[in-house]
Structure 1
Amino acid sequence: MAACSTSSCAACKFLRRKCITDCVFAPHFPQDDSARFVNVHRVFGASNVAKILNDLPPASRRDAVTSLCFEAEVQLQDPVHGCLGYFLILQHQLNKIQVHNAMIKAEIQGLNGQAGLEG
């Protein structure tokens, strides 16, 4: 774990508490990156994030923090739909691509059919 002997991590600095040696936030929220923690704290709350991280094995915590940061940022940008809005946009794009792909396949089949008739 990261030691916070000289300075507090972004979480402890924001929460105005002493950063301990085995601080669960320190490896993921360095002092110079406070905006990420502030967003996560605003959406999920520091105690909930600490519980999530403490319940995970250390090897999985980085991915969890990455996900929490993304989800918090999206939730703050779109408070109504949050991640669902992002998902719906991607789903719409996928549907458009699938329709376009089907049209191209049909066109190729039509061209292959014409080539067979002419040959």
Structure 2
Amino acid sequence: ICFVNKLDRTGADFFRCVEMIVDRLGATPIVMQLPIGAEADFTGVVDLVSMKAFVYPEEAAKGEMYNVVDIPDNLQESAAEWRGKLLEAVAENDDAMMELYLEGNEPTQEQLHEAIRRIT
């Protein structure tokens, strides 16, 4: 389990971190959240399990508060792509999820959380 932190810092690059996990560790990361913005423009995350955005209001210090909103239009396509990768990776490692995946059924949040717990 890996948590990418400090995405509001200069030079922060979430996607480069994911690539480095693959290249340097030979691991297959299962990305569960995507950043909204980067560096000074980092404003929250898209949760790929719930497909909701968790946005930090400007007045909130250090992420103490957040608003749950729909995924911004400019991130819809990317979120759908990364959710597909998430579902595929979980299905490859969990029989119950593989069955749902092969049947073309979308798992519930609870089913997805349970499967992630089983494989990590």
Which range, TM-score by smaller chain? under 0.3
- Output the TM-score relative to the length of structure 2: 0.27
Greater fraction helix = 1
